């Protein structure tokens, strides 16, 4: 009798495993739907941000709250402290972005402005002329948070400006330049002067992809559930 009961409990293990797996798949499906809702909200906020009046931003706190927004900035470029953001691809062409500090009027900190893309054109030994006027000006940029790619030690970088970097790490950039930055990137508007190739990619939340993943998880849960029910019925009829 004891062994029979023990054998019956063992047969429940596959059924329990199927139930747990189904629950996990269902939770993953709802997680993907939640991700889709988050991306949808971001896309809506970007649309709202860029259809109203373009604000003139003067303080660090305001700027930190304006991700994806197009804003106006007043100040001056620091021509003598520029960075070359290397290993970039635009239209399947390799090159670099020109990053120029922009000191805000009345502030001690700078915004790093991406002035656009320049192809290497097979000449990595020669940079294009990236000089920019350092006088007071007003620019329009879209504010983005930087995305780190790799970590580099400061000692690995040549400290002669313009400094070539492989990643936007503000701790390293501040150490090299001795400039304090507001930790955002300003993508220079395509119509603005003093820029290069600016084919900025619009934000896409890949909402359809998340919904597709959710459907896959739900279908897997359904199929697994049906298999689990069939196994349970077979065990019951033994």
Show me where the domains of the chain are located: 2-45+207-237, 69-188
Q: How confident is the model at residue 20 (pLDDT cuts 50, 70, 90)?
A: confident
- pLDDT tens digit sequence for 36-81: 998 888 888 777 777 777 889 998 999 998 888 899 999 999 999 9
- pLDDT tens digit sequence for 160-196: 899 999 999 999 999 999 999 999 999 999 999 899 9
Number of H helices, E strands in the chain: 4, 8
SS3 string, the chain, reads: CHHHHHHHHHHHHHHHHHHHHHHHHHHHHHHHHHHHHHHHHHHHHHHHHCCCCCEECCCHHHHHCCCCCEEEEEEEECHHHCEEEEEEEECCEEEEEEEEEEEECCCCCEEEEEEEEEECCCCCCCCCCCCCCCCCEEEEEEEECCCCCCCCCHHHCCCCCCEEECCCCHHHHHHHHCCCEEEEEEEECCCCCCCCECCCCCCCCCHHHHHHHHHHHHHHHHHHHHHHHHHHHHHHHC
């Amino acid at each position: 009798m004891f062994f029979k009961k023990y054998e019956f409990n063992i047969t429940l293990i596959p059924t329990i495993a199927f139930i747990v797996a189904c629950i996990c798949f269902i939770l993953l499906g709802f997680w993907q739907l939640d991700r889709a809702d988050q991306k949808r909200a971001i896309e809506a906020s970007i649309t709202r941000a860029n259809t109203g009046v373009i604000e003139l931003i003067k303080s660090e706190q305001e700027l930190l709250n304006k991700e994806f927004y197009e804003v106006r900035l007043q100040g001056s470029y620091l021509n003598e402290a520029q960075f070359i953001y290397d290993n970039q691809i635009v239209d399947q062409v390799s090159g670099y972005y020109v990053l120029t500090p922009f000191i805000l009027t009345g502030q001690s900190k700078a915004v790093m402005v991406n002035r656009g893309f320049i192809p290497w054109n097979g000449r990595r030994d020669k940079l294009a002329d990236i000089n920019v006027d350092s006088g007071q000006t007003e620019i329009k940029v879209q504010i983005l948070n930087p995305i780190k790619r790799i970590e580099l030690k400061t000692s690995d970088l040549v400290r002669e400006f313009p400094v070539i970097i492989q990643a936007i790490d503000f701790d390293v950039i501040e150490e090299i330049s001795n400039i304090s930055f507001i930790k955002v990137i300003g993508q220079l508007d395509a119509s603005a002067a003093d820029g290069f190739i600016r084919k900025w990619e619009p934000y896409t939340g890949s909402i359809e992809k998340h919904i597709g993943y959710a459907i896959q998880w739900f279908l897997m849960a359904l199929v697994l559930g049906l298999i689990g029910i069939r196994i349970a019925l077979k065990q019951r009829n033994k």
